Structure 1
Amino acid sequence: MTDGRVIFLIPVFNLLFTDSIVGDDLTVYKNSLNVTAGQSVLLPTSYSITYPLKNWPSIEWVTKDDTIVYCSVTNGSLGAEGRPVWVTENTIISPKYQGRVDFFRLNASLFLKDLTEMDTGSYTVRLLMDGNIYKGAIHLWVHQSPAPTDSMVGDNLTVHTSSLNVSVGQSLLLPTTYSISSPAQSWPSIEWAREGQTIVHCSVSNGSIRAKGLPVWVNEKTGISPEYQGRVEFFPLNASLLLKDLSVNDSGTYTVKLLTAKNVIKGTIHVWVQRSPASLEDYITQSRTVIFILRMIGCCITPVVLCLLILCCECR
């Protein structure tokens, strides 16, 4: 006895695959950034390239019609998501920005140093690939430092954000500044740690400071924990810490300490490292073979499945 029901088999795997996932792509992770004069800032981006590869791209950063960086990639290797693992390239930095910028060729991020109010403006990144141009922009606001107050005459540590979000594989700047008593009676030590584990310890032995107590130059000895060698960069003039090639395991609370002869001043930044949406692409890419096989044998399976369904219905 049958009940007249008809069962449809829907190929749900087809809903997962889209061509847009495997093409060239440029992602800019911030629309705008605010920073104080004298600080450094990271303009965070990442890019992926079509695989299999036909040509390597060029990348450029521009502002106010001035080219900051031009990078021409000539060779390299791509991960499953089309993201560069390593590249060989030729990078040219404008004389105007020599010594003031660092360019990260694996994700196209740009690091600006020692900012002034004149650096305020829109910064555009372009990925030039196979005749196409992919671009994004970040507006940077550089504010004047607050006027000196009594609280700034002594030792002081400022952490400029309480939490930050970033995707796997990116770089991230933990922005801080510090001032020391003027005239300097003793020089401080600076320490960064994550969940109690020391990342960097910097001992300042000499230097020069401005009227506000901000360092102009310092002599220092910096030690980086073996676990973080090659993955962090420390800036002794403002105590900021740059984290590179982040993974989900790098999530946590980061603590910075300014250790002076009289006091220990500290601040914290919580970092959330999220899996990139591209991690789904890897799953989809790995599923292509399965999808292809299902399609090839689908016409053979369908009659068998229908016969089984008919027999099951008749048995009722």
Structure 2
Amino acid sequence: MKFTRISALVASAAIAPAVLLASPAYAADAKAPAVSAPDAGAKTPDGQAGADKAEILRLMAAKGAGAGIKEEGAKAIAGGPSAMRKFLEVDQFAVRDTDNKVEISRIIGTADKVGRGVREAGKKALKGTPQDRAKFLEVGQFKARLDDDRVRVLRIMDAGGRSVKDAGGKALDANTPEAIKEFLEVGQFKARIIDNQLLTTQIASKGGPAVKAAARKALNGTPEDVQAFLDKGQYEARKKDEADAAAAKGKDKGKDDEVKPKPDASKEADQGAGAATGKGGTPVTAAAKNDPAPASGGTSLASTGAGSALPWAAGGTAVALAGGAGILVATRRRRAGE
């Protein structure tokens, strides 16, 4: 019995240290709380503010961003996390619409660059909703501009020559913004150069020496020289040709006057003496001298001193006088016989 008790005591003594040493570790494991891995998708306040700032900076740097977005975005960033969150959720939309209004007004105000279609579509968008204004800037203005450009092409074709008409027709047939833009910015000018050269050649073929010389000089120069000839040079050259032709005509007339023979003075004196005595030596009365020549003679005695009808008139007068004297003598003899 004693041996049994001693064995139990020895076994207890051997086990006791192990039990005592293991108990604190167990107690510590039992009391330690469970720790899980952090949630990767969750954002801390600092992380959210950083993301908001990055988004605002992206909006400010975007193509077409207006002055309002840039100014208000900078203010939101300076205002801190709450200001940035409010800008992204609310303020940016009102600011962007204000910028859109300013941009639409600028577009329709450039009358020299846009047509009637763009102006009308822009005015309609200004009176509409924010969505209407955004749509005009993103899509509507380009459709309206294409329609306006088609009208411009037709007008240019109507005023241009054959080459311009052909080039404009090809652009309209392609019916793409790129083709029409190429014609308006490049193609029409190339085609006009060809038409101007052809027109200059035609004018030169029908013009005088000065016109031909001016046209030749223009064709040997630049397209601007050809255009200047058509706008002004051809008219100046034509005036010079007309002046030269008039001067040459006057010079030729002066030569003809010099070559024309002058009247023979001795012959005129003989005609004057014959007119004074009459045909057959018959004297001419004072009345006959002062009377002008008959209309059929065509020359006045006062201006020439003698006329082609004067000898016949003097002879006729003498005959009439002789006949009258004979009749008078015969009448007197008849009365004496009775």
Q: TM-score range by the shorter chain?
A: under 0.3
Q: Which has the higher helix share?
A: 2
Structure number with greater Rg is 2
Q: Which has the higher strand share?
A: 1
